[in-house]
A and B are shown apart, each in its own frame.
Chain A
Amino acid sequence: MLDEPIENIFETLRTSPSVEAWVFLIRSAIGGDLDDTIDRYYGSVEDLMHTIRANSLHRVLSETTFDIGLERVVATWDPAAVNNVKSVEFMLRLITAFTPPSGFLKLFGFVANGGIFPSNDSETSGSEETVLEEFAWNALRAYFPTAPEAPDKFPAFDGYTRLLVNELQTHKGRAYACVRLLELGHFKPDGANLGEVISEHAEQVVPALLDWLLGNERRDRDSLLASLYLQCQTSKSARIAFQEALEKDGGTIELTDYRAQITIGDGTSITVPFAGELSYELTKSKEWQDLSERGYILLNEITWEETT
């Protein structure tokens, strides 16, 4: 089989899929031998694989042999030894799309040890490296799109969240880590941990949090958005960051007594009622924009559950 010209490999996989044929195809793709084909018809390496799997005359066999073949390739992959940007991107895409068992440990080890992704050109190195890092974090996310039922029984999950907590200390990774820790439930929407990160790094993390919330269709999106809004009242920079990020996405905030009316870009309107002393203070002063430090103290006493 391995002596076949590459132009026959698609047909081989369609009619008689095997682990060896998949390994050959995956290595060919990673090695750049299918770049023009991917560019012309599929747009991405994962879509090439998806399409060949879907077109197979023996679909279950095709998917099974693919899974084994990809695992075999990933298990022998050393991200530190690869210096080709496209090759790394292709592998990260495949790991994200198909989550082979070895993928998590390979990437976790690389990222945790401060591995640096390659770049082709010194002039564009910054952006290429950043995109590969984004792909790497997305690949790790694919293994834990949400927290497992019993997190303490998953050492890998514990390691992953510790890695994210460490990323909070870095300028580059802080925003992403904050989003993920909230998404995984490690940060409570109204918790002090999230509040602390927001108040210290509002300009960096608030746009990322809003982008995540507005770009996804989570069922709890509106309540999370309300909690985030309240968290952002802790400082002027956070308030401004929230408002700017919302407006950038086509949203608005309207303030009245007792509540804020947040309208997001798709037209959804969310009411954030204020409670307790804060409402009293608001009613008295009617100066929401200038709550400043007084608002900070009061808001710290409010939880989302109380307001709803």
Chain B
Amino acid sequence: MLLITCPHCGPRDETEFRYGDQAGVAYTPDADDAAWAAYLFVRDNPKGWFHERWFHAHGCRTWFSVHRHTVTHEMRQQP
């Protein structure tokens, strides 16, 4: 199980959180079909450091982002 550090509550078990996938995906209301499809369906899927969001669903209900390594699962505020 991952140990995830919530900025408000500190380190807590993964089971308290919901995964929010890639951080910083910009909403693109004026996109053409291809750009809209990319906005809806395509995310980075790197083997290595990944900037992603988590939601402390069973805690303070804060959304926050971390950098996590997708092989080691190490988490940092900066990669």
Q: Do A and B bind each other?
A: no
Q: Which residues of B contact A (CB under 8 A)?
A: none
